[in-house]
Amino acid sequence: MQSTVIAPSILSANFARLGEEVDNVLKAGADWVHFDVMDNHYVPNLTIGPMVCEALRKHGVTAPIDVHLMVEPVDRIVPDFAKAGASLISFHPEASAHVHRTVQLIKSHGCQAGVVLNPATPIDVLDWVLEDLDMVLLMSVNPGFGGQSFIPSALEKLRRVREKIDATGKPIRLEIDGGVKADNIGEIAAAGADTFVAGSAIFNAPGSDQRGYADVIARMKDAVAKVRG
């Protein structure tokens, strides 16, 4: 079983003091940094790119940076993120003409590779590529914005992808992204997720400081531990 990972999405952080926000959330117990890249084309929003990833590394961030690409095309930007210090790079299969090739491209640049499924994307897109992946990311909201509500059908989808992953016998992570809160993370873990993205639930915690972040992350970890041990 993969260890539990809490990956705060910096989409909901205060961008005016991003380095400090990332330091605070990691000191508060976060495991990874979830880095949402939006291009105003694949999704109707525009966020941050490789320069910001590199800036976080230069700032001293050593935790894994989990880059979630919501961009089209995908391949051109992959080497830039690898160079900028990304640890994992995940992409949406709808945005790549050659999904298998993109997975190999990410790995050839020394990063772990993930495929992201939107709420309405069927899971059979995983069939011929799953064993090459380090992670499957299921969206439990439509990509583009933080602060949306968890779409309940993601629970059944998690169970089905969990079965597929277990059948491979490989250490492939199952990550969930969108609407994850301290009060629903337990049932999300029970459905099979091991890696949990949370943006607004963490960064909008009372105080928006290290103490507030630590409180939410601890509550999330407790709820997951009750289910996963």
Summarize as ranges the residues that interact with Zn ion (CB under 5 A).
36, 68, 177
Nearest approach in angstroms of CB 19 to Zn ion is 20
Query: What are the two backbone dihedrals, phi and then psi, of residue 164, each rounded to the nearest 5 degrees?
Result: -65, -45
Binding to ligand DX5 (CB under 6 A) within 34-93 occurs at 34, 36, 68
Query: What are the two backbone dihedrals, phi and then psi, of residue 167, each rounded to the nearest 5 degrees?
Result: -65, -25
Applying CB under 6 A, the span of 46-54, 98-106, 151-159, 178-186 interacting with ligand DX5 comes to 178-186
Judge contact between 114 and 175, C-beta under 8 A: yes
Binding to ligand DX5 (CB under 6 A) within 130-169 occurs at 141, 143-144, 146-148
Q: Which does 11 bind (CB under 5 to 8 A by kind): Zn ion, ligand DX5, none?
A: ligand DX5
Q: Which does 201 bind (CB under 5 to 8 A by kind): ligand DX5, Zn ion, none?
A: ligand DX5
| 6, 180, 185, 223: residue in contact with ligand DX5 (rule CB under 6 A) | 180
Nearest approach in angstroms of CB 52 to Zn ion is 15
Token pair 């999300």 is at which residue?
188
CB nearer Zn ion, residue 68 or residue 221: 68
CB nearer ligand DX5, residue 11 or residue 88: 11
Nearest approach in angstroms of CB 8 to ligand DX5 is 9
Catalytic residues: 36, 177
Task: Tell me: does residue 198 bind ligand DX5 (CB under 6 A).
Answer: yes
Nearest approach in angstroms of CB 161 to ligand DX5 is 17
β-partners of residue 91 are 69, 115
- Alpha-carbon distance of 180 to 172, in angstroms, equals 20
CA atoms within 13 A on the CB side of 5: 26
Strands 33-38 and 65-70: parallel
Q: Which does 146 bind (CB under 5 to 8 A by kind): ligand DX5, Zn ion, none?
A: ligand DX5
Closest CA to 64 of 111, 109, 3: 111
Q: Which does 50 bind (CB under 5 to 8 A by kind): Zn ion, ligand DX5, none?
A: none
Cite the DSSP H helix spans in the chain.
18-27, 50-59, 78-83, 99-108, 153-168, 185-190, 200-203, 210-228
How far from 178 is each of 6, 31, 32, 183, 188, CA to CA, in Å?
Answer: 13, 17, 16, 14, 11
- Alpha-carbon distance of 116 to 121, in angstroms, equals 9
CB nearer ligand DX5, residue 5 or residue 141: 141
Binding site for ligand DX5 (CB under 6 A): 9, 11-12, 34, 36, 68, 141, 143-144, 146-148, 177-180, 197-201
